Amino acid sequence: MTWAAMMEGGVQINAQGQRFHNENHGYSEAAVEVLAQPGGIAWNVFDTPVLDLLQTFPDFVEAQANGALRSFADEAALAAHIGCDEAALRATLAAIEPGVPDRFGRSFKRKLAAPLHAVKVTGSLFHTQGGLDIDEQCRVLREDGTPLPNLLAAGGAARGVSGNEVWGYLTGNGLLSAVAGGWLAGGTVAAMLAQESS
């Protein structure tokens, strides 16, 4: 949910007070980038207009109630919280030039304005993009492409629609392959049972 913050002008800052990638690429890509930072962590930093938007998301409100959000009057207070050099953080935020693509290829509509808000984040696995090879009926295939008898797979257990790379994931692909695959596999089971009893 704080990903909406990145799309609306928020940035990810590492423990050295620096940005490290184009935060608009997507959260699968971001997980890899964040895990490559010192300590495998970053802070999602945004301002009050973005916070107002985030507070329309029930999961953000829940995270906020659990203490995930910290607010700071200015860059100095945020730098003290992160434990980074204040000048480095100031330089990072000052480098945002609305309308001018930055060194990561990202364009901003505006600069962030204090007070600033931050959520500490890391990368985690919530969707797998590979699994057992299946056919269009969700039957698990051998290496030679023939189906194994009575073995079906769908969702996270089966090959996915996202491809092999982190950038292949689109929001919803996890549930899409689980729900659609489950429906297809159910049809296959029904057909197998009908064939057995006929």
Ligand X SMILES: Cc1cc2nc3c(=O)[nH]c(=O)nc-3n(C[C@H](O)[C@H](O)[C@H](O)COP(=O)(O)OP(=O)(O)OC[C@H]3O[C@@H](n4cnc5c(N)ncnc54)[C@H](O)[C@@H]3O)c2cc1C
By the rule CB under 6 A, 131 interacts with ligand X:
no
Please, which residue, 87 or 175, has the CB nearer to ligand X?
Answer: 175
Q: Out of 121, 155, 184, 185, name the contact with ligand X by CB under 6 A.
A: 155
Please, which residue, 56 or 171, has the CB nearer to ligand X?
Answer: 171
Q: Out of 40, 115, 147, 156, name the contact with ligand X by CB under 6 A.
A: 156
By the rule CB under 6 A, 127 interacts with ligand X:
yes
For the chain, the three-class secondary structure string (H helix, E strand, C coil) is CCHHHHHCCCEEECCCCCCCCCHHHCHHHHHHHHHCCHHHEEEEEEEHHHHHHHCCCHHHHHHHHCCCEEEECCHHHHHHHHCCCHHHHHHHHHCCCCCCCCCCCCCCCCCCCCCEEEEEEECCCCCCCCCECECCCCEEECCCCCEEEEEECCHHHECCCCCCCHHHCCCCHHHHHHHHHHHHHHHHHHHHHHHHCC
Q: Out of 104, 126, 167, 183, name the contact with ligand X by CB under 6 A.
A: 126
By the rule CB under 6 A, 67 interacts with ligand X:
no
Please give the Cα distance from 30 to 122 (Å, whole number): 9
User: How many of the chain's residues bind ligand X (CB under 6 A)?
Assistant: 12
Please, which residue, 25 or 81, has the CB nearer to ligand X?
Answer: 25
Q: What is the CA radius of gyration of the chain?
A: 22
By the rule CB under 6 A, 172 interacts with ligand X:
yes
By the rule CB under 6 A, 76 interacts with ligand X:
no
By the rule CB under 6 A, 175 interacts with ligand X:
yes
| Closest to 119 measured CA to CA, from 148, 82, 153 | 82
> Which amino acid belongs to residue 15?
A
**What residue is closest to ligand X based on CB?**
155
For ligand X, which stretch binds (CB under 6 A), given 19-27, 33-41, 75-83, 171-179?
171-179
Q: Out of 82, 174, 184, 188, name the contact with ligand X by CB under 6 A.
A: 174
Find the shortest distance in angstroms from Cβ 83 to ligand X: 27
| Residues within the interface to ligand X (CB under 6 A) | 126-127, 155-157, 171-176, 178
